Amino acid sequence: MDYFPVFLDLKNRRCLLVGGGDIATRKGRLLARAGARLCIVAPEISDELKHLAEQGGGELHYREYESSDLNDVVLVCSATDDNELNVRISEESQARYLPTNVVDSPKLCSFITPAIVDRSPLVIAISSGGEAPVLARMVRAKLETLIPKSYGRLAQLASRWRERVKQSFSEENRRRFWEKVLQGPIAELVFSGQDEQAERAIAEDLANPDYVDTQGEVYLVGGGPGDPELLTLKALRLMQQADVVLYDRLVSPEVMELVRRDADRIYVGKRRSDHHMPQENINELLLKLAQEGKRVLRLKGGDPFIFGRGGEEIDLLAAHQIPFQVVPGITAASGCAAYAGIPLTHRDHSQSVRFITGHLKTDNPNLTWPELALPGQTLVFYMSLVGLEEICQVLIRHGRSPQTPVALVEKGTTQDQRVLIGTLETMPQRVAESDVHGPTLLIVGEVVQLHHELSWFSPERSGSQ
């Protein structure tokens, strides 16, 4: 984060604006909307700026800038086309530790003005740090279409009832009350212009001591293979309303960034042969937290029902009649294969696909190696890095061609994705020479040869090999 976002209270406070043309007028509009008293200094001042200053009890000075203009102001904006003057204003104002903005000159600024979506008292600021202002304006335009004007009235409704709600509920129940109000029928009344009905409804709900349900709940959510844009809308919504989050190492940092910021976070590990918290303890902790009335997010990499032990976790919840929801995620096989340009099935190469855990031993009766060695299918091994050499050897031993194409996808769908291509015969050596780290996914089958033709994803920090 290059800039710390902050909102300044400028109501009835004196702000210096140097310049009187079109650019200065645009700055003046924003400052006036924030309630600032404009002190405008310029040889010529536009009619609109004059009106803004006079309307807000400001000042007009028809002359060149003087250092004394910095006296008794709380903020400085320079909007002139004189670069030397802009540099002087920047240096003198920052020497006094005054917040300083020079239009279109980020290097001369101590703060920059963002693109704004105004739904007062709800205000959204978007900034690119001065690097891509057109992009920031495009994002603003998208938000303008997504956020109705009536959000401002909804925020005002919440403001009017804030103290009464605060006195009526504990902190946790207060948050739940507002979530029901702001996402339910009362919000819809405001959106449809029925503000008086909304006021009556919130009063009725506040008078009902049972309005806030203190029953705990568990959300078993698939976080996908790493790219946060692969999350489902439902997953994102539940991630934003959970009170506590249990997560493991397969959940990417980018996905964790989307969890509600004030939620408690509990890391439960889950690395091969090194479980930070045993599975039985995780199950018990989910139950305990839900019984305390918390909304618990169990966030897993990939899909919770594909090698995620999600079924084990909700078994205990069901036995104790704890409500839960299961939100599927894009499993690693689908995500990593797609981002590597490898179709898991293809009319000419593979008519079926099998997902297999690489943690299983070769003598495990559930793993039918003779069937896995048959051609015309794609095999996807999860958690296969440690057992990679054994997997390749056993498949060859049971009849799969040593020249069968193989791909190892490291940290798939993320900006650190790397794809190693080889065969059953060569892949163990390739991996040994490439300093590979988990999480990884092993794809075996003729479809792998399509990688070079269909590869489309280009990570910023590492390329496919």
Which of 379, 382, 385 minimizes the C-alpha distance to 398? 379
Active site residues: 248, 270
Q: Does residue 460 carry a pLDDT above 80?
A: no
**Does the annotation place 224 within a ligand binding site?**
no
Which of 66, 5, 13 minimizes the C-alpha distance to 41? 66
**Does the annotation place 306 within a ligand binding site?**
yes
**Does the annotation place 43 within a ligand binding site?**
yes
Token pair 């919000």 is at which residue?
187
**Does the annotation place 34 within a ligand binding site?**
no
What is the amino acid identity at position 409? V
Q: Where are the domains of the chain?
A: 1-113, 151-207, 217-330, 333-454
Long-range contacts of the stretch 29-32 (C-beta < 8 A, 24+): 30/113, 30/116, 31/75, 31/77, 32/56
**Does the annotation place 412 within a ligand binding site?**
yes
CATH, range 151-207: 1.10.8
Q: Does residue 2 carry a pLDDT above 60?
A: yes
Q: Residue 305: how many CB atoms within 10 A of its CB?
A: 17
With a CB cutoff of 8 Å and minimum separation 6, the contacts of 367 are: 356, 360, 361
d(CA 38, CA 51) in angstroms, rounded, equals 11
Q: Where are the beta strands (DSSP E) in 93-200?
A: 100-102, 115-119, 122-126
What mean pLDDT comes out for the span 120-131?
A: 89
**Architecture in CATH of 217-330:** 3-Layer(aba) Sandwich (3.40)
Q: What is the third-level CATH fold of 1-113? A: Rossmann fold (3.40.50)
* DSSP structural state of residue 115: E
With a CB cutoff of 8 Å and minimum separation 6, the contacts of 117 are: 123, 124, 126, 140, 143, 144, 147
Identify the band that residue 363 occupies on the pLDDT scale cut at 50, 70 and 90. Answer: very low
**Does the annotation place 343 within a ligand binding site?**
no
How confident is the model over 142-185, as pLDDT tens digits?
A: 888 888 889 999 999 999 999 999 988 888 778 888 888 888 78
* Cα-Cα-Cα-Cα dihedral sign, residues 277, 283, 288, 293: positive
Q: Which CATH superfamily is domain 333-454 in?
A: Tetrapyrrole methylase, C-terminal domain (3.30.950.10)
**Does the annotation place 331 within a ligand binding site?**
yes
Q: Does residue 461 carry a pLDDT above 50?
A: no
Helix (H) or strand (E) holding 269: none
Helix (H, G, I), strand (E, B) or coil at 279: helix
How confident is the model over 32-83, as pLDDT tens digits?
A: 999 999 999 999 999 999 999 999 999 999 999 999 999 999 999 999 999 9
Around 116, how many Cα atoms within 13 Å sit in the side-chain half-sphere? 19
* Phi, psi values for residue 235, rounded to 5°: -60, -45
Burial label for 357, CB within 10 Å (0-12, 13-18, 19+), is middle
CB distance 37 to 12 below 8 Å:
yes
Tell me the two tokens of residue 39.
């002190």
Q: What share of the chain in percent tops pLDDT 70? A: 94
Token pair 């269909």 is at which residue?
454
